[in-house]
Structure 1
Amino acid sequence: MTIDNSDYLGNATSQTLSRVQISPLDNIEKGNNITPSLVETKIIEIKLPSEEPPVPKVTLKDLTISSDPNADKIALILEKYGLCIVKNFMEDEQLEEVNKELEPHFAKNKDDPRLFPKETVRVTSTVNKSPAVVTEILSHPLHVDVCQRFLDQKNAFWIGENINIGYSPAIVTSSIAFRVGPGATGQALHRDDMSDHNIRQKQDTYKYGSESQVGISVALSKVTKDNGGTKFIPGSHLWDHFRKPHEKEQCLYLEMDKGDACFMLSSIFHGGSDNITKDEFRTLLIIFMCKGTQRQKENIYLGTPIEYFKQFNTHQLKLLGLSMSEPFSNMLELRDPLVDLKPGYVRKSNYSDVGKVVSI
């Protein structure tokens, strides 16, 4: 018996379910009550798309900027390959401050029964636990510049007799620190933009506007293939949504020195790899930014005292999603939340610009 795919649809349409056949699977096993279950529940039949274009034959050196990094250089590499390494992104003093603020949280979480695998300790929502994550990484000018290129939105709309312009900047969607210990097993290859239901179309060249998230991974310790460095498929951000990834034949493995950073489009296939060392821990911080019109992965507001956010400047608060997305999103009592967070802040309009139309 084939299940009617409309069982999965509300009033919206799906761009993917029409490409698969879904059937029941008998003898479904019960999953672990603590860890979200990946026990198979259905049979999926699909005609796989063409495996074109081929995976580019590149090395980590081809994806690395060793000196004088800027958003132009990074964007060119991201357009082609979906991932770019920047050497010496952070200074030692900045790293020490971030590590100092995160260490108590790693210690607190090391015995969390939800850990999967048990050798990997996570500190979630680091932007509301470590001010240094906000001041040194989230609001780092290079990070902001890259995210603006891929995620910021500015559009014009008819409002009566005017054409007005609204601007929606990128905001943080998740900020998770990982400490991956010896014996930790790797992740399955995946795309992080699945949380946004971002359906990929095959692209010959990269099309701006197709991305829903951009990530930055900062090495808080040395990262090697052996201690679990992220595996990824260069160029897979250009693939059709259902093109199948092949780990052994297609993956490169991320390696970074402490203080290096890796920019990554959320549409690239990737996943943490096995830590096969005896005594090395891989520690890194991964921040993902999303479009300001999207729902964030992590709710950083519930449970966080408002006084914590008041320590940041207006620019940083905007990156945290604590401002209006023009023209009318994320309002607090019909006003910009920044009015409550920053005394003296004034917003004169719900638009960046109000345009007088003189000809059509």
Structure 2
Amino acid sequence: MDKSTLDRHLVTIEEQGYCILENAIDPELLTRIRDAVARLEDELEVGPRNNPAEGFSTKRMYNLLDKDRVFWELPIHENALPFAEHLLDRECLLSGTTSMNIGPGERLQGLHSDDGLVTVPRPRIPFMVTTIWAITDFTDANGATRVVPGSHRFDHEPDYTKEYEHIPAEMPAGSILVVNGGTWHCGGANTSEGDWRLGLNIQYCQGWMRQQQNQYYALKADDVREMPARLQQLCGFTLYRGIMGHVDGDSPGGYLGAERVSETAYSGVRANAD
């Protein structure tokens, strides 16, 4: 993505709390993602989790990086990562990777913000950035993500006893919806006749925050060692600000033998002291 395009979308996010990028996913990658999700849902016998948050007619899979290497390409994708790096910072972390396949009959999810657990008063700087990848078309009828434009500027979280006006983020397959972590949104109701809505949520958070999905236990050490260095960094196998997250003075990646992200804690402080 060129800088002018990125800047234009960042202005939209600043004003509305979200933006939509059409034609953001190469058709060949889109096919590989779709095939991988279908295979995994079958192999793992994925079914609804049957609760209001995760849905009663929705198939979800978490920690996708451990399930197929095609998902390694998503967090570092040129049409996704730059938003996290600009809205958070370059030392941001990958908070989670989730597939959400919303089936017919699914009800409307409750409005929420992805950084709603943060206790810092709103409005505030972004603590999370969510990219929602449209693997199928997102329509009003099949459960497109719904958003409340400008809600990232509100000074409160949604009151679950009240109703709010929200709009569907309709977009064709191959698009990416980028959402400020403070923006109110929800999964839409699927009122279609047999149309499943498949999306992938690739979420980022500030580098000093606890990730939503634990990357350290979810990933195999051999896989971590073979990951691209930028993905290793995003998963938390390097140090934050050269200090936070070390294992006996080394970065977690260095501790595992991932030499590309090996880093000695406090090395910058020592250099300045010298």
TM over 0.5: yes
Asked whether 1:183 is paired with 2:183, we answer: no
Distance change >3 Å, CA 252–CA 303, structure 1 → 2: closer
User: In structure 2, which of residues 58, 62, 81 is the aligned counterpart of residue 144 of structure 1?
Assistant: 81
User: In structure 2, which of residues 141, 144, 148 is the aligned counterpart of residue 226 of structure 1?
Assistant: 141
Partner of 2:263: 347
Distance between the aligned counterparts of 1:322 and 1:114, measured in 2?
A: 34
Residue 348 of structure 1 and its aligned partner are, at CA, apart by 6.0
Q: What TM-score do the two structures reach when normalised by structure 2?
A: 0.88
Partner of 1:37: none
Deviations 1:216-255 (A, max 9, x none): 000010110110111111111011125759655x311111
Partner of 2:63: 125
Distance between the aligned counterparts of 1:69 and 1:120, measured in 2?
A: 37
Distance between the aligned counterparts of 1:309 and 1:223, measured in 2?
A: 33
User: In structure 1, which of residues 67, 89, 106 is the aligned counterpart of residue 24 of structure 2?
Assistant: 89
Partner of 1:258: 173
The answer to whether the 8 A contact 1:223-1:282 is kept is yes
Amino acid across the alignment from 2:38: E
Asked whether 1:271 is paired with 2:186, we answer: yes
Distance between the aligned counterparts of 2:50 and 2:267, measured in 1?
A: 44
Q: Once structures 1 and 2 are overlaid, which stretch shifts more, 94-103 or 174-183? A: 94-103
The answer to whether the 8 A contact 1:175-1:286 is kept is yes
Q: What TM-score do the two structures reach when normalised by structure 1?
A: 0.68
Distance change >3 Å, CA 174–CA 196, structure 1 → 2: farther
- Secondary structure at the aligned position of 2:116 is classed as helix
Distance change >3 Å, CA 333–CA 247, structure 1 → 2: same
- Secondary structure at the aligned position of 1:196 is classed as coil
The answer to whether the 8 A contact 2:112-2:184 is kept is yes
Distance between the aligned counterparts of 2:58 and 2:100, measured in 1?
A: 7
Unaligned runs of 5+ in 2: none
Residue 147 of structure 1 and its aligned partner are, at CA, apart by 0.7
The answer to whether the 8 A contact 2:47-2:58 is kept is no
The answer to whether the 8 A contact 1:177-1:285 is kept is yes
Distance change >3 Å, CA 287–CA 330, structure 1 → 2: same
Residue 184 of structure 1 and its aligned partner are, at CA, apart by 0.4
Asked whether 1:325 is paired with 2:247, we answer: no
- Secondary structure at the aligned position of 1:302 is classed as helix
Distance change >3 Å, CA 303–CA 297, structure 1 → 2: closer
- Percent same amino acid among aligned pairs? 20
Higher helix share: 2
Partner of 2:131: 216
Residue 102 of structure 1 and its aligned partner are, at CA, apart by 2.3
The answer to whether the 8 A contact 1:192-1:266 is kept is yes
Distance between the aligned counterparts of 1:344 and 1:181, measured in 2?
A: 42
Distance change >3 Å, CA 103–CA 301, structure 1 → 2: farther
Distance change >3 Å, CA 275–CA 352, structure 1 → 2: farther
Amino acid across the alignment from 1:260: S
The answer to whether the 8 A contact 1:173-1:298 is kept is yes
Amino acid across the alignment from 2:81: V
Distance change >3 Å, CA 338–CA 327, structure 1 → 2: same
Between Structure 1 and Structure 2, whose CA radius of gyration is higher? 1
Asked whether 1:334 is paired with 2:254, we answer: no
Distance change >3 Å, CA 279–CA 293, structure 1 → 2: same
The answer to whether the 8 A contact 1:326-1:351 is kept is no
Distance between the aligned counterparts of 2:247 and 2:14, measured in 1?
A: 37
The answer to whether the 8 A contact 2:152-2:183 is kept is yes
Distance change >3 Å, CA 303–CA 76, structure 1 → 2: closer
User: In structure 2, which of residues 97, 104, 119 is the aligned counterpart of residue 197 of structure 1?
Assistant: 119
Distance change >3 Å, CA 198–CA 129, structure 1 → 2: farther
User: In structure 1, which of residues 292, 302, 320 is the aligned counterpart of residue 217 of structure 2?
Assistant: 302
Distance between the aligned counterparts of 2:153 and 2:128, measured in 1?
A: 15
The answer to whether the 8 A contact 2:24-2:79 is kept is no
Residue 355 of structure 1 and its aligned partner are, at CA, apart by 5.0
- Secondary structure at the aligned position of 2:81 is classed as helix
Distance between the aligned counterparts of 2:10 and 2:268, measured in 1?
A: 26
Report the number of matched residues.
268
Amino acid across the alignment from 1:171: L
Amino acid across the alignment from 1:146: F
